[in-house]
């Protein structure tokens, strides 16, 4: 997983000029999490918090958020946002690797928004086991999972973001979406393992977690340039799962 820190730092720097902080998209994510949680909660652990836009959105609404992020440039941006916004809840920012970080608290909700699958199956199981230890007995874990069928369908798709080129590919042997960004002659690639719901259920074995709900995500239609926010699971780029502790 040596690519991880370099990719997310480079991606952030390519996007940085256009960043505007928390927006309606992050409010919609929070609403989806509130709906899937299906009962009141107070504390949130966000893994892979990026620039902190979701964490800020949740803290502004009164939730107590612990945000874990690996990339220093994103941590700096998150701290900047924290200084610029009035937060009702607490926001603790932790720079670190969520495979190694030690947390002394447990949480009502643990979320991993967009990015699950950076390692091999055993890495996901290691992370899921860690998450189960950080979860309160009546809490839930909410994770975005990439679907293999969508990413197969857009393999070879290219797009320009300003002067930068982006390309999607698919590793059929590893069942991984490949997302490559080109900046001149330099390129960085993100590689994420995709899981169908049955594959995910097998992954959960011996983690102490049970899958109890699925919320289908959206899909980008590149032939028309339109994003459809809610589509059937068989057409979706990703889906959000709700996991709870086994009893």
CA 217/CA 228 separation, integer angstroms: 9
Quote the mean pLDDT of the chain.
94
Cβ atoms 181, 6 nearer than 8 A: no
Is residue 63 situated within a structural domain? Answer: yes
Is 175 part of any domain? no
Q: Quick: pLDDT tens for 158-181.
A: 988 777 889 999 999 999 999 998
Q: Is 234 helix (H, G, I), strand (E, B) or coil?
A: helix
Q: What is the per-residue pLDDT across 197-244, written as a single tens digit (0 to 9) for each?
A: 999 999 999 999 999 999 999 999 998 989 999 899 999 999 999 999
In a domain, 110, yes or no: yes
Domain count across the chain: 1
Backbone dihedral angles phi then psi of residue 238, each to the nearest 5 degrees:
-155, 170
Task: For residues 102-130, give the mean pLDDT.
Answer: 97
Closest C-alpha among 22, 94, 83, 84 to residue 58: 22
Torsion of CA 137, 142, 143, 144, to 10 degrees: 170
> What DSSP line would sit under 183-221, residue for residue?
ETTEEEEEEEE---HHHHHHHTTTTTEEEEEEEE--EEE
Mean pLDDT of 188-200: 96
Domain that holds residue 28: 3-144+196-218+239-245
**Neighbouring-strand partners of residue 186:** 183
Residues above pLDDT 90, as percent of the chain:
83
Residue 174 inside a domain? The answer is no
Helices (H), the chain: 3-15, 24-37, 53-60, 72-84, 121-134, 148-153, 197-203
Q: Which two tokens stand for residue 133?
A: 């230890």
85 occurs within a structural domain: yes
184-213 per-residue burial string, b: 16 or more CB within 10 A, e: under 16:
eeeebebbbbbbeeeebeebbeebbbeeee
What token pair was written down for 242? 């709700």
Q: Is residue 177 in a domain?
A: no
pTM comes to 0.95
CATH number at residue 110: 3.40.50.150
What is the Cα–Cα distance from 155 to 167, expressed in whole angstroms? Answer: 8
Is residue 170 one of the residues assigned to a domain? no
Q: Across residues 82-107, what is the average pLDDT?
A: 97
Distance of CA 137 to the CA centre of its chain: 23
- Compute the distance between CA of residue 218 and CA of residue 117 in angstroms, rounded to an integer: 18
Per DSSP bridges, beta strands 135-146 and 107-112 are parallel
């Amino acid at each position: 997983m040596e690519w991880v820190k370099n990719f997310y730092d480079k991606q952030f720097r390519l996007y940085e000029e256009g960043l505007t902080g928390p927006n309606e998209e992050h409010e919609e994510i929070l609403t989806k999490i509130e709906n899937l949680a299906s009962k009141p909660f107070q504390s949130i652990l966000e893994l892979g918090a990026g620039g902190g836009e979701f964490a800020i959105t949740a803290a502004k609404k009164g939730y107590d958020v612990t945000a874990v992020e690996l990339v220093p440039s994103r941590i700096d941006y998150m701290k900047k946002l924290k200084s610029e916004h009035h937060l009702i809840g607490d926001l603790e920012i932790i720079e670190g690797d969520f495979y190694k970080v030690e947390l002394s608290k447990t949480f009502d909700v643990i979320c991993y928004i967009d990015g699950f699958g950076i390692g091999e199956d055993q890495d996901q199981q290691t992370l899921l086991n860690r998450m189960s230890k950080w979860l309160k007995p009546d809490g839930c874990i909410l994770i975005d999972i990439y679907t293999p069928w969508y990413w197969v369908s857009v393999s070879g798709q290219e797009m320009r973001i300003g002067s930068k080129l982006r390309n999607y590919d698919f590793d059929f042997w590893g069942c991984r979406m490949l997302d490559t960004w080109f900046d001149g002659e330099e390129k960085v690639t993100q590689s994420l393992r995709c899981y169908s719901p049955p594959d995910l259920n097998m992954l959960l074995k011996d983690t102490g977690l049970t899958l109890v709900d699925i919320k289908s995500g959206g899909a980008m239609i590149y032939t028309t340039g339109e994003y459809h926010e809610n589509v059937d699971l068989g057409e979706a780029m990703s889906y959000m799962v709700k996991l709870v502790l086994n009893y």
